[in-house]
Structure 1
Amino acid sequence: MPRKSANSSSQDELLDEFQALVRDTEKLLQHSASLAGEQAEELREQIRTSLGRARSTLHDAEDSLRERGKAAVEATEGYVQTHPWQTLGIAAAIGLLLGMLISRR
């Protein structure tokens, strides 16, 4: 279960970052006509900071997903190596079921 809560919190963080990015972008669009000089540059810097945070969070989520994928592959390979006959039986059963489904059409 820890993976699920970590995944959920990562998704929540990512969603929050993108919502903040959207809010900041909307703010920039609304004020772009009336802002000049220093105010416009300050708002642009806020947008850059928000984009940086969103990119960082997205990169972290990508790394986490990649690590979980590698762990799943390693676990599957380990199972196949320790239980080759069971794996062969499962694969044959799945092939049989798919063949039956395809032949019905």
Structure 2
Amino acid sequence: MSSVEQQNDRLMDDLNQVIRDAEEMLKNTEQQSGEGFRAAKARFESTLKNAKEELAKVEEIVVTRTKDAARATDVYVKENPWQSVGISAGIGLLVGLLIARNK
């Protein structure tokens, strides 16, 4: 898994945790009273609902793009196996040189 994918996964996990925490907070504040508090709570619930919907959309887009990239890579490797081997060997050589250089 690449660094970007790990960061995206971490971001999704963090956003899901924020949403869970916010929902828990709303459950724990049901005893509060006052018109201003009720209005603020309603706005917060609306914002939270929108955030959940947007997160679901973003998650769907990320999954779709990842699947598309995997399919495109698979097709390229099947159509160009020797080029793929050459590219992989070149990348391996470059990484090996960089590791050896940093020691």
- Cα separation, 2, equivalents of 1:61 and 1:24: 19
**RMSD of Structure 2 on Structure 1 (CA):** 2.1
Structure 1 residue ranges (4+ consecutive) displaced by more than 3 angstroms after TM superposition: none
Correspondences of 1:18-29 after superposition (within 5 Å)? 18-29=16-27
Match of 1:70 among 43, 68, 75: 68
Unaligned runs of 5+ in 2: 82-103
- Cα separation, 2, equivalents of 1:67 and 1:56: 16
Contact 1:21 1:47 in 2 (8 A): no
- The structure showing larger relative contact order (alpha-carbon pairs under 8 Å, at least 6 residues apart) is 1
- Cα separation, 2, equivalents of 1:14 and 1:47: 20
TM normalised by structure 1 equals 0.61
Q: Which has the larger radius of gyration?
A: 1
| Cross-structure match for 2:45 | 47
- What do the CA deviations read for 1:43-101 (whole angstroms, capped 9, x no partner)? 23113213322332332232122112111112212222334xxxxxxxxxxxxxxxxxx
TM normalised by structure 2 equals 0.61
Unaligned runs of 5+ in 1: 84-105
Q: Secondary structure at the residue paired with 2:2?
A: helix
How high is the sequence identity, in percent, across the aligned residues?
11
- Cα separation, 2, equivalents of 1:12 and 1:58: 15
